[in-house]
Structure 1
């Protein structure tokens, strides 16, 4: 695994990159061919992003 992110600037950069990845995945999805597994994967990505935001929030308190 990588190094822990403790710097606020690195945290914001990390979250922006993850959100960008999510948006790319969302843009690439074809509604006609999207399966439940694809939607579940996207929900998991958002859950992971939310968890990371909460972790960063606790570190900065």
Structure 2
């Protein structure tokens, strides 16, 4: 994957993560929701 494509992919993944985080209601957030966020962060880290 070219550098520009990799950067674009990372931006999209980060935007998806931020969107998911902003949509969450603290009172309704489950452990599974937090696990999904952690998994998304791990995937971002692997792509870097």
Which structure: larger Rg?
Answer: 1
The size of the alignment, in residue pairs, is: 48
Larger relative CO (CA 8 A, sep 6+): 1 or 2? Answer: 2
Q: Which has the higher helix share?
A: 2
Unaligned segments of structure 1, at least 5 residues = 1-5, 54-61
Unaligned segments of structure 2, at least 5 residues = none
What's the RMSD between the two structures over aligned residues?
0.5
Q: Output the TM-score relative to the length of structure 1.
A: 0.76
Instruction: State the shift of 1:50 in Å.
Output: 0.3
Instruction: State the shift of 1:21 in Å.
Output: 0.2
Q: Output the TM-score relative to the length of structure 2.
A: 0.95
Instruction: State the shift of 1:14 in Å.
Output: 0.4
